[in-house]
């Protein structure tokens, strides 16, 4: 397991290193003192886990996550307990209040290891890896105003372009993500996600109905009775691929 420590206080980073020495299965691959350094380190080192402070010079831990294309597993570490509820609202792996207690740290690492083993267990009962379609790449972190979410890509039913932003449909939420539709499409499993028009990408797992649309197009109905038009060109490709 590879971990990155992100904290603006050198003494806090050293203390966390000392505590993590009791967990030899975890390799600390780097440190960062602010969001800019942290983003570069995450992109260069691809850690499995990030220990992330909330308040730092130049931006918060939430701002850092919102700037990433792919959100890593996160354990928040901070001295400010008012952030606890917000951290869990975004489905962080865990939340550790400074000074960090060894027992709480060990509990958080057990949760991380248990989550890492879930895909392995699922793969053991599925088809061989070389026969499986590419999987959606983890989760996306969305920060819209004061609200934040970690969302698994497979839980998102629709991506809809709005200028330089993309509106993300999941559950009853419709936040805006500062990513283009093309950026997002590059991460998506083409067996699950379909680009139905210049402005929209649909998760086929959520399609509950298909009907003819204007000009030889089609209209997809998603769960929740969301109607999504499919362009004529995309509809023709869809019919050919599915023998319709």
| pLDDT value at residue 87 | 60
* Cβ neighbourhood burial of 15 (10 Å; 0-12, 13-18, 19+): middle
Stretch(es) of the chain classified as CATH 3.40.50.2300: 2-124
For domain 2-124, give the CATH number: 3.40.50.2300
Task: Confirm if 7 and 13 have CB atoms less than 8 A apart.
Answer: yes
Q: Is the pTM of this model over 0.75?
A: no
The 10s digit of each residue's pLDDT in 12-54 is 999 999 999 999 999 999 999 999 999 999 999 999 999 999 8
114 φ, ψ (degrees, to nearest 5)? -65, -40
186 φ, ψ (degrees, to nearest 5)? -65, -25
For range 72-83, the mean pLDDT: 83
The 10s digit of each residue's pLDDT in 161-175 is 998 899 999 998 999
Stretch(es) of the chain classified as CATH 2.40.50.1020: 139-242
**C-alpha distances in angstroms, 130 versus 127, 133, 188?**
8, 8, 18
Domain 139-242 CATH assignment equals 2.40.50.1020:
yes
| Kind plus residue range of the DSSP H or E element containing 19 | helix 10-20
């Amino acid at each position: 397991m590879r971990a990155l420590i992100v904290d603006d206080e050198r003494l806090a980073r050293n203390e966390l290193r000392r505590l993590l020495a009791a967990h030899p299965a975890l390799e600390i691959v780097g440190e960062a003192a602010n969001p800019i350094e942290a983003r570069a380190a995450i992109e260069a080192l691809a850690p499995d886990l990030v220990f992330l402070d909330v308040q730092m010079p130049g931006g918060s831990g939430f701002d850092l996550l919102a700037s990433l294309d792919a959100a890593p597993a996160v354990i928040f570490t901070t001295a400010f307990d008012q952030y606890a509820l917000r951290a869990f609202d975004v489905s962080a792996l865990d939340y550790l209040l400074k000074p960090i207690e060894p027992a709480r740290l060990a509990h958080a690492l057990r949760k991380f290891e248990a989550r890492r083993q879930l895909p392995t267990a699922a793969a053991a009962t599925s088809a061989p890896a070389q026969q499986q379609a590419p999987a959606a790449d983890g989760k996306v972190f969305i920060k819209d105003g004061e609200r934040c979410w970690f969302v698994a890509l497979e839980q998102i039913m629709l991506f809809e372009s709005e200028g330089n932003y993309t509106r993300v449909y999941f559950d009853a939420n419709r936040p805006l993500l500062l990513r283009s539709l093309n950026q997002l499409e590059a991460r998506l499993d083409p067996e699950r996600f379909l680009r139905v028009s210049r402005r929209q990408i649909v998760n086929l797992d959520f399609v509950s109905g298909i009907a003819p649309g204007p000009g030889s197009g089609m209209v997809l109905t998603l769960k929740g009775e969301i109607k999504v038009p499919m362009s004529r060109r995309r509809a023709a490709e869809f019919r050919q691929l599915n023998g319709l």
